[in-house]
Amino acid sequence: QVQLVESGGGLVQTGGSLRLSCTASGSSVIAAMGWYRQAPGKQRELVATILMRAGGTTNVASSVKGRFTISSDTVNDTVYLQMNSLKPEDTAVYYCHADDYRVPWGQGTQVTVSS
């Protein structure tokens, strides 16, 4: 079974940067991967998605556009989320997601931005 393994969360001050990584372990051909986040008391929301092949087209939420960049390493089935100019409202658990119903969500990684 394919599993998503995330890393890279942590505590950072406002204006700082973090880079999240997510690797799909096991044999897989995943068309698209992405990142979602869920803040306390709020619904999970899309942050960014990327096509793993077909030119790597990305979709980035307006709330993070210009600050966050999603990229991929298709050889290693890994997706990255580079987060710059972080704000306290970016504080959330960030989840990796694969566009394949057979692949469960990642376990989540906490990102905390202090003011």
Q: Number of H helices and number of E strands within the chain? A: 0, 10
Q: What stretches of 27-106 adopt beta strand conformation (E)? A: 32-38, 45-51, 58-60, 68-73, 78-83, 92-98
pLDDT tens digits for range 59-105: 999 999 999 999 999 888 899 999 999 999 999 999 999 998 889 99
Q: Tally the residues of the chain.
A: 115
Q: Look at 13 and 26; give whichever has higher pLDDT.
A: 13
Where residue 27 falls among pLDDT bands split at 50, 70, 90? low
Residue 26's pLDDT band, with cuts at 50, 70 and 90, is confident
